[in-house]
Amino acid sequence: MEKNFNGIEPFEKKIWLSSPTMHGEELDYIKEAFDTNWLSTVGKNINECERMVAEYVGCKYAVALSAGTAALHLCVKLAGEKIYGMAKPNEGTLRGHKVFCSDMTFDATVNPVAYEDGEAVFIDTERDTWNMDPVALEKAFEIYPEVKLVVIAHLYGTPGKIDEIRAICDKHGALIIEDAAESLGATYKGVQTGNFGNYNAISFNGNKIITGSSGGMFLTDSREDCDKARKWSTQSREDAPWYQHEEVGYNYRMSNIIAGIVRGQMLHLDEHIAQKKAIYERYKEGLKGLPVTMNPYDEEKSEPNFWLSCMLIDKDAMCRQVRGERDVLYISEEGKSCPTEILEAISKFNAEGRPIWKPMHMQPIYRNSPFVTAKGNGRAVTNAYIDEGEALDVGMDIFERGLCLPSDNKMTPDQQDVIIEIIRRCFDK
């Protein structure tokens, strides 16, 4: 059936999912880099950027890098050396070893494990925060007791169940890599994310809570790890009068220009978080009465940065929807909707939403990788998928029924009200 959107006009200017919000100080610091002719990978902006982030997060050291993925790669490389020792020539530090990884995340969380020749084992998602399920993690250690490294991500800026995960890792002698790319400014028990892993990474990609247009950062309390990460990020140049190289390095250092943007953005991080939270709360209030819920978080233990506001449709309110690898079909029904219908509807009115991250175990590139749910071997239970009305594969269920809503902090309340009205009409009878 065709849903009725009469009386709603398309936005003249596109409402983005989450676009950069610039303020002016960024240009001042970029100009400073130009005026002093420090344009490459050294300069005051880099030094100040590292200082400001470390001070804000509450860690001792920060290394400014070209991307959050670069930071994650150095985390993985450092962890591999710590656990397994130096790699042989032309081999990664994780060759022949499995690593437990968050399943519902962007593939940048996981790809660095492959860079270092490791094998990802994906851990299913829990419903309370949409992050790694501690029950599934414990089950994974029962199946693979030899694993010594766990990579966790905080989805959409919401901290996961850190206490439980850390207790399990400590019990099994495993190190933690914390992918806080999406959660800069979020806290767990009053402590900033980016402090909970043995190795930690954040991102300044163009759509993040603050941005450098690109860039990322490695965070640590270890001076030794800081020095190693900084050396590796500058092609592993040795302290010699000439270019001396004794191990493989990478061109991962942040430029002084990008650092100038981040330096200006840091002044507005708390402001951006407040704006994102207001968007989340307006959606939560405006969607009341519909068969939907917002992306959840533990209100007693954590305060997200509310980077993206997301929505989950009740099972009995889902119209029929079938997704292939690249295409999707759905049948519109009275009183029901689905992520595809809602995303198509808001797109017609010039607003951008996105599907939830497709779980890694469902991705063609990782389809043969092990996957563990709270019930055990996920590859086995996924074939059943539903057990007495409950999804056995939680990540796949959230992917099927969830979507990311327009969350740009330049969106006005009136514009958000229009988006809410479009969503409500998708469920009209």
| 287 and 258 both lie in a single domain | no
pLDDT, tens only, 327-376: 999 999 999 999 999 999 999 999 999 999 999 999 999 999 999 999 86
Position 232 pLDDT exceeds 90: yes
With b meaning 16 or more CB within 10 Å and e meaning fewer, what string describes 18-52?
bbbbeeebbeebbebbeeeebeebebbbbebbbeb
The answer to whether 252 and 70 have CB atoms below 8 angstroms apart is: yes
Phi first, then psi, for residue 382 (nearest 5°) are -65, -30
The answer, as to whether pTM is greater than 0.85, is yes
Does the pLDDT at position 264 exceed 60? yes
- Residue 241 sits in the same domain as residue 279: no
Taking phi over 0 as left and psi of -120 to 50 as alpha, with beta for the rest, 194 belongs to left
Run of H or E residues at 187: strand 187-188
208 annotated active-site = yes
CATH of the domain at 85: 3.40.640.10
Span 284-319, pLDDT tens digits: 999 999 999 999 999 999 999 999 999 999 999 999
Distance CA 82, CA 84 (A): 6
Handedness of CA 109, 111, 114, 120 (dihedral sign): positive
Per the structure, how many domains does the chain have?
2
Specify whether 170 is located in the same domain as 308: no
User: Is there a contact between 91 and 117 (Cβ–Cβ < 8 Å)?
Assistant: yes
Q: What is the Cα–Cα distance from 403 to 353, expressed in whole angstroms?
A: 7
Helix (H, G, I), strand (E, B) or coil at 355: strand
Q: How far is the C-alpha of 302 from the C-alpha of 397, rounded, in Å? A: 24
Looking at residue 3, its amino acid is K
Asked whether residue 2 carries a pLDDT value surpassing 90, the answer given is no
Residues 260 and 339 in one domain: no
Residue 387's pLDDT is what? 54
Co-location of 262 and 324 in the same domain: no
Supply the CATH number for residue 299's domain.
3.90.1150.10
Q: Report the mean per-residue pLDDT for the chain.
A: 95
pLDDT at 73 over 70: yes
Residues 10-50 pLDDT 10s: 999 999 999 999 999 999 999 999 999 999 999 999 999 99
Domain that holds residue 285: 269-359+387-426
Quick one: average pLDDT of 54-63? Answer: 98
Could you say which of 77, 208, 276, 358 is catalytic?
A: 208
Check whether residue 237 and residue 300 sit in a common domain. no
- Beta strands 292-294; 98-102: pairing state: unpaired
